[in-house]
Chain A
Amino acid sequence: MIRLNDIVVKFGDFTALHDINVHVKEGEFFTFLGPSGCGKTTTLRTITGFIEPVSGSVVVKDRDITHVPIEERNIGIVFQSYALFPTMTVYDNIAFGLKLKKLRKAEIAQKVNDIARKVDLSDEQLKKAVSQLSGGQQQRVAIARALVTEPAIICMDEPLSNLDAKLRVQLRNELKQMQKDFGITTIYVTHDQEEALTLSDHIAVFNKGVIEQIGTPNEVYNHSATEFVCNFIGDINLLQGEAVAALNAGGGQVDPAAHNYIRLERIHVNVEPKPGNVVLPGVVDSREYYGLYIKYYIKAAGQTIKVIEKNDGVNIYEAGQAVKVVMDPRDVMAYPVA
C-alpha cells in the first residue's frame, strides 16, 4: 500500500531523516512512535507532501508520489491542533474539500451528512461554529473532514495530545473502532507508547531520524530490537552487576558484559518460584498505589528493583517489609554496550 524507500530529509546541514524504509499494508493501523524531534512528524509530512525528500521515494499503491503536489495525493490528515477553520461552521469545515472539488451542492450535503452520522455528529452540531464544540467533538470534525473526500490513506499527527487523560482514553477506543469500520489505511504519529501499543497493528520506533525497530506491539514491547526501544517502551529495570551475578548463580545465562534489562511485570514478589526462577531477598523501600496495581521499589542485590503487582487487596507489602523477589533469567533482554 505505502512504501517509503530510503527516504532522506535534510533541513540545511541537519539531516532529519536517514534512509527511512517503511512498508504499510492496506487497511493497517501503523504508528510512528518516538520522542520529540526524532523524525516521526517529518516522515508523516514527507508522506503527505509538505516536505520533499532529498532522496528516496514515496510509493502509494505502486505509484511514485514523491513529487506529486499535496492536493493530488489523496491523503487525508488529522492535525495535532485539528486545524479546523475557525471562521467556518462545522458543516463548512467538513464540506471545504468537497467544495474545492466542485461537487454539486446536493452531493456535498449528502456526503457531509453521511460522514457526520458515522463520526457521531448531530445535525445541530453541524450548524455550530467549531469554537462551540468540545475537544472530543472537534476531533470528530477533524476526522470527518479528513475522511469525507474519501482518501486512500489517513494520517494523524498526535490527534489526542490536546485532550485530558480521561477523554484521551475514550477517544482512543473510538478512533480504533472508526478505523476498523472505515477500513482505511491509517498512519498515526505519537510519542505516547501506551497509545501506540493499544491502537496499532504495527509500530515503527524512531530515534534521531532513524527507525530503530518496526514490529507488532508485542514485538516492540517484549522483544525490543535495540536498547533505545527497550528503554523507550514501558518502564524497565537495568540490572546491575550483583543482580546479574545472582541470576547466573541461580542457573541463568546472562552476559555480564552487556546491558541487561527486565520488565517490571516479569518480576514477582513473594510467589512460589518456578523451575529456573531465581529468588533474591529484598526489602520494600517504598510503593506507589495505582488502584488496579501497585508498584514497589525494592532494595535487592545492591540496587533498587521496580516491580508491578496486581492489586488483589490481600498481598500488599509495606515499606521496610522483607520480601522475596522472584524473576526468570530468560525474561532478561540483553544489549551489547555501545
Chain B
Amino acid sequence: MTKSRSSALSPALLAKIFGVAFFAYLFLGFMLLPCLNTLASIFTTQNASGEVDPLAVIRFFFAGNMGSYVWNSLKLAVCLVITVNIVGVSIVLLTEYFDIKGAKILRLGYMTTLIYSGVALVTGYLFLYDSNGIITTLLVNAFPGMNPNWFSGFNAVLFTMTFACTSNHALFLRNAIRGIDYNTVEAARNMGARPFKVLWKVVFPTLVPTMFSLTVMTFITGLCAMSAPTLLGYDSINPEIVRLAGSSTADEAFPQARAALLSVILALFTIVLLTVLSSYERKGHYLSVSKTKAKLQKQKIDNPVWNLLAHIYAYILFVIYMTPVVMIIIFSFQTYGAIRMKRLDLSNWTLINFFGTQDYEYLTNRGTYKTRKGSISGLFANEATLGGIKLSFILSAIAAALACVIVVVACNYIFKNRNKKSGTVLEYCLLFPWLLPTILICYSYRVYFNSEDVWYVGGTNLYYAEHVRLLIILAYTVVKLPFSLRMIKAAFYAIDEELEDAARNLGSSPLVTFLKVKLPIILPSVLAVFALNFNALFTEYDMSATFASSYGTTYAMVIQSMCREEGLYGYNVNASGRRCASTVFIMIVSGVILYLVYGVGARDLGERLEIRDRRRKRLEKIKSFGKRTGEAHT
C-alpha cells in the first residue's frame, strides 16, 4: 500500500537487479554449492577396486573409532553447558544482583575474556597449568600427592573453555538481569518471600529465555571446539576434521570423505539445536509490563556466613580469571630464560619481547660457542610475527567490514520488505551459515575451491598460492554474516518508522534517507558489530588452521608454529615471550576498540555535545586563568 516512487526509476531497478544477483551469487556460490559438494563427497567414495561405494564411509564410521570423536565432543558440550552456566550465572549474580564488595573490579576481571580469548587464552592457561606451569608447580609443592599432569585432555579443555566461554553470559545475561523491574523484587519481599525465594521464583524465571539461548550457544561451542582440544590434546570432532583434511588416501582410508562426514554430523547437531532454540524464541519472552520500571538494587546477603562464602567464591573466580592475564603481562617483560623456566625473575626485566633484537649465543656439540644473530627478537622487530599480525589485521578488517556492509544493505531491504516473501528469503539466506559449523564451511571451501573448474570465480584455484587469502576473507565474511545480521537487524528495528516517513515528507529520496537518517542511527551498532567481528577474527585459529597454507599464515598460526619450534637450532629463542607480548598487544588493541565502540561510539549526539561543551568551558577557564596570571605578572 505504501507508495514507492523509486521502484519505477531505472537506476533503482538496476540496483535491485544487481542486489538480487549479488545475493544469489553469494548464497549459491559461497554457501550452498561448496557445502553440497562436501555432502556429495561422502557418497561418492571409491573403494579399493576403484568403484564408487556410497556407504563406505558410513560403514567405516560404525566399524572404526570415528564414533569416539563424536562421543568426546558431545561429552565436552554437555559438561561445558553445566560448568559455563554455573560460572556464568555466578559472575553475573555476584556483580549485578548481590551486594559484593569490589563488584566493579570483579566485573572487570570477569570480562577479561572479551579481550583475551581464543588461542591466546588457551596458551596462557597452558603456560600456568601444564605439568611445569607456575600454578601447577605451586600446587604440587603444596599438595605433593597431586598429579602434575592434571592439566591435559578433557579436564584441561573443560577448565579452559569454562572460563573462556562466559563472555556471552557477562554481556547478555548481565543485560537481562539489569532489565528486571526492581518493583517485582520488592513486591515479592513485601508478600513475605525470603531473598533466596525471590531469586528463585522472581528473578530466575525472567532470565530463563536468555539462559536457554546461552545454553544452546554454549553447547554448540563445545561441540565445535577447536583450539582448546587441539592445543590441550583432546580427541574431538574439529581437530580430527582438520587432521583428516590435511591427510591423503596414501596414509589412511578416504580421509576427505571422513572429514566431510564428521562435518555433516556436526551440522546436523547444530541444525537440531538451532531449530529447538528458534522454536523456543518464537514462543516469546517474559517482557516487563511495567511502565515505570525501577532500577534493580543490589541485594545484601543478610546471613554473615553466606555473605562471607559468596565473597570468597567471587574472589576465587576473580583470581582464576585474572591470573593468566596478569601473568601474561608480567612475563611479557621477562627474559626468555625466565619464561622457559616459568620462574619469575624480579631482578631482570626486559622489553626485548616487544622491541628490538638480540643475538643468541649457544654451546654447540663440539663444545664451542656459536652466535645466532638476532635470534631473540621483539614482537615489533620479528618479521614473521609482524607478517602474521599484518595479514590477520588486513584479512579480519576486510572481512569484518564486508560482513557489515552486506548485512546493512540486506537489512535495509529486509526492513522495507518485512512483510514480503523476498525479505524473509534474504534473511534466511544470510542466516544459513549459522546452521553450519564453521569447520564445515572452511573445509568445504578448501576442497571445493581447490580446483580450476569453478567457473563463477573465473576458473581460478582459490586454494592456490596467495589466492588462499581471498578464500580466508570469503570464509571469514560468510561465517560472520549470521551474527552481524542478528545484531544489525535489531538496530534497524529499533529505528522509529516515522523517521523515514518524516524524511520522505521533507523531500528525501530513499537513498538520502538511508544515508542521512537511518545510517547515522544504526552506525554505533554497526561499528560495535564490526569491532566484535574484528576482535574475534584477528586472533582466530580454527579457520586459518583449516586453510593451512604458507600464504595464509595468520597471526595465531605464526605464534603457534614459533612456539612449537622454540629454541630449535637456536631459532625463535624467545617465541613464548613474544607470544606473551603479542597477547598483551592484542589485549590493548581489543580493549581500545571495545572502548571506542562501546564507550565513545555509543554516546548519542546529546552526550557528545555535552562533552564538547564541557571541554570548551574547561578550555575557556584555563585560558582566562592564564590571562589573569599574565596580567598579575605584568
Interface string of B500-531 (1 = CB under 8 A from A): 01111111110010001100110100000000
In the assembled complex, B609 has its CB within 8 A of some CB on chain A: yes
Q: Is the CB of A128 within 8 A of B609?
A: yes
Nearest CB in chain A: distance from B520 CB, A: 4
In the assembled complex, A52 has its CB within 8 A of some CB on chain B: yes
User: For residue A130, which residues in chain B have a CB less than 8 angstroms away from its CB?
Assistant: 605-606
Pick the contact of A77 from B1, B505, B512, B610 — CB < 8 Å?
B505
User: For residue B516, which residues in chain A have a CB less than 8 angstroms away from its CB?
Assistant: 85, 96
Give Cα A170–Cα B199 distance, bound, in whole angstroms: 46
Give Cα A328–Cα B498 distance, bound, in whole angstroms: 49
With known contacts A50-B2, A83-B498, A71–B605 Cβ distance under 8 A: no
In the assembled complex, A76 has its CB within 8 A of some CB on chain B: yes
Give Cα A76–Cα B2 distance, bound, in whole angstroms: 18
Q: Is the CB of B507 within 8 A of A71?
A: yes
Nearest CB in chain B: distance from A14 CB, A: 11
Give Cα A87–Cα B516 distance, bound, in whole angstroms: 9
Give Cα A129–Cα B498 distance, bound, in whole angstroms: 18
Q: Is the CB of B520 within 8 A of A87?
A: yes
In the assembled complex, A97 has its CB within 8 A of some CB on chain B: yes
Interface residues of A in 150-202 (CB under 8 A from B): none
With known contacts A52-B1, A87-B520, A97–B506 Cβ distance under 8 A: yes
Tell me how many residues of A have a C-beta within 8 Å of chain B.
35
With known contacts A52-B1, A129-B605, A132-B610, A83–B499 Cβ distance under 8 A: yes
Pick the contact of B502 from A51, A79, A89 — CB < 8 Å?
A79
Nearest CB in chain B: distance from A33 CB, A: 21
Pick the contact of B521 from A48, A51, A86, A128 — CB < 8 Å?
A86
Give Cα A80–Cα B501 distance, bound, in whole angstroms: 12
User: For residue B508, which residues in chain A have a CB less than 8 angstroms away from its CB?
Assistant: 71, 96, 100
User: For residue A127, which residues in chain B have a CB less than 8 angstroms away from its CB?
Assistant: 609
In the assembled complex, B633 has its CB within 8 A of some CB on chain A: no
Q: Is the CB of A131 within 8 A of B505?
A: no
In the assembled complex, B5 has its CB within 8 A of some CB on chain A: yes
Give Cα A127–Cα B612 distance, bound, in whole angstroms: 12
CB-nearest residue of chain A to B522 = A87
Give Cα A101–Cα B507 distance, bound, in whole angstroms: 8
With known contacts A83-B498, A83-B499, A48–B505 Cβ distance under 8 A: yes
Give Cα A50–Cα B501 distance, bound, in whole angstroms: 8
Interface string of A202-214 (1 = CB under 8 A from B): 0000000000000
In the assembled complex, A49 has its CB within 8 A of some CB on chain B: yes
Give Cα A77–Cα B505 distance, bound, in whole angstroms: 7
With known contacts A49-B3, A127-B609, A83–B604 Cβ distance under 8 A: no
Interface residues of B in 1-45 (CB under 8 A from A): 1-3, 5
Nearest CB in chain B: distance from A58 CB, A: 12
Interface residues of A in 8-42 (CB under 8 A from B): 9, 11
With known contacts A69-B3, A87-B521, A129–B609 Cβ distance under 8 A: yes
With known contacts A52-B1, A79-B498, A83-B496, A149–B606 Cβ distance under 8 A: no
Q: Is the CB of A145 within 8 A of B2?
A: no
Nearest CB in chain A: distance from B209 CB, A: 28
Q: Is the CB of B498 within 8 A of A76?
A: no
Q: Is the CB of A70 within 8 A of B504?
A: yes
Give Cα A48–Cα B605 distance, bound, in whole angstroms: 30
Give Cα A48–Cα B505 distance, bound, in whole angstroms: 8
With known contacts A131-B604, A149-B506, A11–B1 Cβ distance under 8 A: yes
Nearest CB in chain B: distance from A93 CB, A: 9
User: For residue A50, which residues in chain B have a CB less than 8 angstroms away from its CB?
Assistant: 2-3, 501, 504
With known contacts A52-B3, A86-B604, A71–B506 Cβ distance under 8 A: yes
In the assembled complex, A253 has its CB within 8 A of some CB on chain B: no
User: For residue A101, which residues in chain B have a CB less than 8 angstroms away from its CB?
Assistant: 507
User: For residue A149, which residues in chain B have a CB less than 8 angstroms away from its CB?
Assistant: 506-507
Interface string of A38-74 (1 = CB under 8 A from B): 0000000000111110000000000000000111000
Give Cα A145–Cα B502 distance, bound, in whole angstroms: 10
Q: Which of A50, A77, A83, A129 has the most CB of B within 10 A?
A: A83
Nearest CB in chain B: distance from A326 CB, A: 43
Q: Is the CB of A87 within 8 A of B501?
A: no
With known contacts A71-B508, A128-B609, A129-B605, A83–B3 Cβ distance under 8 A: no
Give Cα A100–Cα B501 distance, bound, in whole angstroms: 15
In the assembled complex, A122 has its CB within 8 A of some CB on chain B: no
Q: Is the CB of A88 within 8 A of B605?
A: yes
Q: Is the CB of B517 within 8 A of A85?
A: yes
In the assembled complex, A75 has its CB within 8 A of some CB on chain B: yes
Q: Is the CB of B520 within 8 A of A80?
A: no
Q: Is the CB of A132 within 8 A of B498?
A: no
With known contacts A86-B521, A129-B605, A131-B606, A96–B506 Cβ distance under 8 A: yes
User: For residue A128, which residues in chain B have a CB less than 8 angstroms away from its CB?
Assistant: 606, 609
With known contacts A50-B2, A81-B498, A83-B501, A100–B512 Cβ distance under 8 A: yes
Q: Which of B503, B505, B508 has the most CB of A within 10 A?
A: B505
Q: Is the CB of B605 within 8 A of A87?
A: yes
Nearest CB in chain A: distance from B69 CB, A: 51
Give Cα A71–Cα B2 distance, bound, in whole angstroms: 14
Q: Is the CB of A86 within 8 A of B506?
A: no
Nearest CB in chain B: distance from A202 CB, A: 24
Interface string of A78-114 (1 = CB under 8 A from B): 0111011111110000001100110000000000000
Give Cα A75–Cα B504 distance, bound, in whole angstroms: 11
Give Cα A81–Cα B499 distance, bound, in whole angstroms: 9
Pick the contact of B605 from A75, A76, A86, A100 — CB < 8 Å?
A86
Q: Is the CB of B610 within 8 A of A145?
A: no
Give Cα A85–Cα B498 distance, bound, in whole angstroms: 10
Nearest CB in chain A: distance from B33 CB, A: 38
Q: Is the CB of A75 within 8 A of B505?
A: yes
Nearest CB in chain B: distance from A86 CB, A: 6
Interface string of B585-615 (1 = CB under 8 A from A): 0000000000000000000111011100000
Give Cα A320–Cα B503 distance, bound, in whole angstroms: 60
User: For residue A87, which residues in chain B have a CB less than 8 angstroms away from its CB?
Assistant: 517, 520-521, 523, 604-605
User: For residue A75, which residues in chain B have a CB less than 8 angstroms away from its CB?
Assistant: 505
Give Cα A11–Cα B508 distance, bound, in whole angstroms: 26
Give Cα A227–Cα B1 distance, bound, in whole angstroms: 33
User: For residue B605, which residues in chain A have a CB less than 8 angstroms away from its CB?
Assistant: 86-89, 129-131
CB-nearest residue of chain B to A102 = B507
Give Cα A9–Cα B503 distance, bound, in whole angstroms: 24
User: For residue A100, which residues in chain B have a CB less than 8 angstroms away from its CB?
Assistant: 506-508, 512
User: For residue B506, which residues in chain A have a CB less than 8 angstroms away from its CB?
Assistant: 71, 96-97, 100, 145, 149
Give Cα A110–Cα B503 distance, bound, in whole angstroms: 21
Nearest CB in chain B: distance from A276 CB, A: 50
Q: Is the CB of B501 within 8 A of A132?
A: no
User: For residue B503, which residues in chain A have a CB less than 8 angstroms away from its CB?
Assistant: 85, 96
User: For residue B606, which residues in chain A have a CB less than 8 angstroms away from its CB?
Assistant: 128-132
User: For residue A71, which residues in chain B have a CB less than 8 angstroms away from its CB?
Assistant: 504-509
Give Cα A252–Cα B24 distance, bound, in whole angstroms: 78
Nearest CB in chain B: distance from A132 CB, A: 4
User: For residue A88, which residues in chain B have a CB less than 8 angstroms away from its CB?
Assistant: 520, 605
Q: Is the CB of B609 within 8 A of A77?
A: no
Q: Is the CB of A51 within 8 A of B507?
A: no
Hey, which bits of chain A sit against chain B, CB under 8 A? Answer: 9, 11, 48-52, 69-71, 75-77, 79-81, 83-89, 96-97, 100-101, 127-132, 145, 149
Known: A71-B508, A129-B606, A132-B610. 6 other contacts (CB 8 A): A70-B3, A76-B505, A85-B499, A96-B503, A129-B604, A149-B506
Chain A to chain B: the 9 pairs with minimum beta-carbon distance, closest first? A97-B506, A87-B520, A129-B606, A83-B498, A83-B502, A129-B605, A131-B606, A71-B507, A79-B498
The 7 sampled A-B contact pairs (Cβ below 8 Å) are: A51-B3, A71-B507, A81-B498, A86-B521, A87-B521, A88-B520, A97-B506
Hey, which bits of chain B sit against chain A, CB under 8 A? Answer: 1-3, 5, 496, 498-499, 501-509, 512, 516-517, 520-521, 523, 604-606, 608-610
